[in-house]
Amino acid sequence: MSDMMNSLSNMRLLEDLARKETFIHRVHPLIKLLTTVIYLAVVVSFGRYEIAGLLPLFFYPVLVLVLAELPIGPILKRILLVEPLIIGIGILNPLFDHQVIVLAGLTMSRGWITFLSIFLKGGLTVAAGLLLIATTGMDGVASAMRMLKIPRLFVLQLLLTYRYISVLMEEVTRTLRAYSLRAPQQKGIQRRVWGSLTGQLLLRTLERAERVYQAMCLRGFTGEYHAGYNSRVRAIDLIYLAGWAVFFLAARIYNIPMLIGSIITGVIK
Amino acid sequence: MHMADALISPVVGGTMWAATAGIAAYSMKKIQNDLDEKTIPLMGVMGAFIFAVQLINFSIPGTGSSGHLGGGLLLAIMLGPYAGFLTMASILTIQALFFADGGLLALGCNVFNLGFFTCLIAYPLIYKKFVGAGYSSKRIFGAAMLSAIIGLQLGAFSVVLETLFSGKTELPFSTFVLLMQPIHLGIGIVEGLVTATVVTFIWKARPEILEQAALSKPLGSISIKKVITGLAIVAAITGGIFSWFASANPDGLEWSVFKTAGVEEFDAPAGIHQTLAEIQSKTAFLPDYNFKEPENVNVQGSASEEAAAWPAVNAGTSVSGVIGGTMTLVLAVLTGWIISMLKRRKKQLTV
């Protein structure tokens, strides 16, 4: 039950955040989508022993977070909630790779390096995805998808699913609350009522779909969805994309922390 | 079963995106032919339904634990395979965007693993064959169980392959398979049981819904031929990547075998990685600062050639790396902090 409330409040939070008016929010949705995709590709393209090289890529989430005036707490919480799944697979690396290496006077198994690398990549990729939706919103992403020529049918259906998630989650919540009040202290739904409980929900959903369709027809639905987004890509958007792309590629090609580090150690010497 | 971005490589992610996009385009064409306007809202609301139902805990008799419904098979049964696949794709897209449940790059993999195998393989080839002769409780049960289990087994195996080709984890193939398949056998059984009971309920309460869903889609003709053609295309694409790996690596197959065994590790993966690595090695500068000497590196307990692709091992560079890395992070956080302070001050001034 709390799961459901969490999911709902999470979706609402992200949607609310997407309504802010900052520099980042004003960047064209398509540009933000492309920037995110390039960023993700660069992050995951790093080799599995790479750690230092990944660190400059922290600039992207940090800057977007700050410039878009997003609250750090909830976003960080979401990222940490997902990390265990990634850790679950990554943690096996130290078990399978015992090669010993010496790093800055510290002896450790190579598996830990790959694990740390996966952990960092997990955090960065999850952050990038969440920041995209928190600064663009579902409508924005959908309009970007349309501009990428993704068929109307799919985008429309995606938006409808998105729109009805909260409605149906609330319905499921009510049903489950009714069930738990009549069947106290039970873990989950008993086998006997799996079919009827879920089936009733399904029947109601089908009826709802029918009503939704009728309501859409009455409002002149002809198969097109108008998101109200009509903005064109501006010069500043292109600069935004180009700026990040250059930075990401530079971070991919040059090991920036190593450069800084060697300059510093060189100076000290 | 959702794969995360951090665990896949761009090549695998890109290929699976292409494969999934192809299947989606084909599905869209298929349903557009017999699209009844009602289908779009029906797909939309059904997608939301699956989303909501995934949050229900079904307690599993005799185990004390509980399971969830994935929903791919149920979608195929209620909407037909193509609409079911597309609806599954939109569910996974929303999960990736809002819940970071599986990443954006991995979306192609996830839609393929969870949508393709259930809706376009298990449903037409198993479920339809079982209930083709007419519905009955027993047939529904057998059909749903078998399709759910096989669909999930194929999906789980596909996860293993994709992870392996990405080369991000050290998990040996056999271990990973032994880990994934039994877990997903359990998940498949729950999925099959829940789907069977729900479909049986619908069949008893409103038989016309199922009959309609089965009739309105010209499924008799989708047949094995087309599925096999589709699979052949995917296989060709996958084979393409394999040969890519192979050609970039003199002994491609051995390489992947070694990789599985976790023995020989240090060859940079092919494709983008390698191109970028080449650029990197060519453009490495500041040699005075201990930079461009990967050959002399010595890894304790391993041959030096193995370590060639990893220049950051000797004491000098690793110290630079640690210091530089810390500096970079501090700088990133500091930049963020300063901008947010400036923004706050500006706001206070304007207020």
Between CA B161 and CA B155 the distance in angstroms is 10
Tell me if chain A has a CB within 8 Å of the CB of B198. Answer: yes
Residue A232 to chain B, least CA–CA distance (Å): 24
Q: Using CB atoms, which residue from B52, B98, B310 is nearest to A11?
A: B98
Q: What is the pLDDT of residues A99-117, one digit of tens each?
A: 777 666 667 777 888 888 8
Q: Using CB atoms, which residue from B69, B276, B320 is nearest to A265?
A: B320
Give strand pairing partners of A109.
A100
- Rg over alpha carbons for chain B, rounded to the nearest Å, is 25
Average pLDDT over residues A171-193: 85
Write out the two tokens for A68: 């878009």
- What residue in A sits closest to B202 (Cα-Cα)? A199
Residues 170-229 of A with CB under 8 A from B: 171-172, 176, 186-191, 194-203, 205-206, 208-210, 212-213, 216-217, 221, 223
What is the pLDDT, as a whole number, of residue B224?
46
Running DSSP on this structure, what letter comes out for residue A189? B
Between CA A155 and CA A163 the distance in angstroms is 12
pLDDT at A207 over 80: yes
Write out the two tokens for B342: 């400036």
Q: Which residue type occupies A105?
A: G
Grouping H, G, I as helix, E, B as strand and the rest as coil, residue B58 is strand
Residues 122-151 of A with CB under 8 A from B: 122, 125-126, 128-130, 132-133, 138, 141, 151
Write out the two tokens for A147: 């501009």
pLDDT at A22 over 70: yes
- Cα B306 off chain centre by: 31
Contact at CB, A201 and B93, closer than 8 angstroms: no
Neighboring chain A residues of B89 at a CB cutoff of 8 Å:
154
Q: Is CATH 1.10.1760.20 the classification given to domain B5-248?
A: yes
Listed in sequence order, the residues at least 6 apart from B210 whose beta carbon sits closer than 8 Å to its beta carbon are B77, B135, B199, B202, B203
Chain length of chain B: 351
**Helical ranges in chain B per DSSP H:** 10-33, 39-53, 72-79, 81-99, 107-111, 128-131, 137-166, 173-205, 207-216, 223-248, 252-261, 272-283, 315-350
What is the pLDDT, as a whole number, of residue B81?
92
The predicted model scores a pTM of: 0.77
Q: What is the pLDDT of residues A48-65, one digit of tens each?
A: 788 888 999 999 999 999
Most confident segment among A27-36, A77-86, B220-229:
A27-36
Contact of B118 with B87, CB cutoff 8 Å: no
What is the pLDDT, as a whole number, of residue B306?
41
Residue A20 to chain B, least CA–CA distance (Å): 15
**Average pLDDT per consecutive 10 residues, chain B (351 residues; last block may be shorter):** 86 92 90 74 89 82 76 91 93 88 90 94 91 85 94 93 86 85 90 92 86 55 49 52 40 37 40 49 39 40 41 56 75 80 76 60
What is the pLDDT, as a whole number, of residue B92?
93
Write out the two tokens for B58: 């079904």
Q: How many CA atoms lie within 13 A of B268 on its CB side?
A: 20
What is the pLDDT, as a whole number, of residue B281?
47
Average pLDDT over residues A243-257: 91
Between CA B190 and CA B148 the distance in angstroms is 9
Q: Which residue type occupies A264?
A: I
Grouping H, G, I as helix, E, B as strand and the rest as coil, residue B56 is coil
Q: How far are the Cα atoms of A2, A235, B215 from residue B33, in angstroms, in the given order? A: 42, 41, 15
Between CA B160 and CA A227 the distance in angstroms is 39
Contact of B56 with A172, CB cutoff 8 Å: yes
**Interface A:B, Cβ pairs < 8 A:** 395
Grouping H, G, I as helix, E, B as strand and the rest as coil, residue A103 is strand
What is the pLDDT, as a whole number, of residue B259?
44
Contact at CB, A198 and B198, closer than 8 angstroms: yes
Angle of CA points A33, A39, A41, to nearest 5°: 105
Contact at CB, B41 and A209, closer than 8 angstroms: yes
How would residue A133 be classed by pLDDT, with cut points 50, 70 and 90?
very high
Give strand pairing partners of A106.
A103
Neighboring chain B residues of A154 at a CB cutoff of 8 Å:
24, 28, 86, 89-90
Domain ranges within chain B, ordered by starting residue: 5-248, 286-350
Residues 57-116 of B with CB under 8 A from A: 57-61, 64, 66, 69, 78, 86-87, 89-91, 93-94, 96-101, 103-105
What is the pLDDT, as a whole number, of residue B256?
37
Q: What is the pLDDT of residues A226-245, one digit of tens each?
A: 666 567 888 999 999 999 99
Give strand pairing partners of A100.
A109
Q: How far are the Cα atoms of A87, A151, B107, B263 from residue A147, in angstroms, in the given order? A: 36, 10, 19, 46
Average pLDDT along chain A: 85
Between CA A162 and CA A166 the distance in angstroms is 8
Running DSSP on this structure, what letter comes out for residue A233? P
Q: Using CB atoms, which residue from B51, B169, B301 is nearest to A93?
A: B169
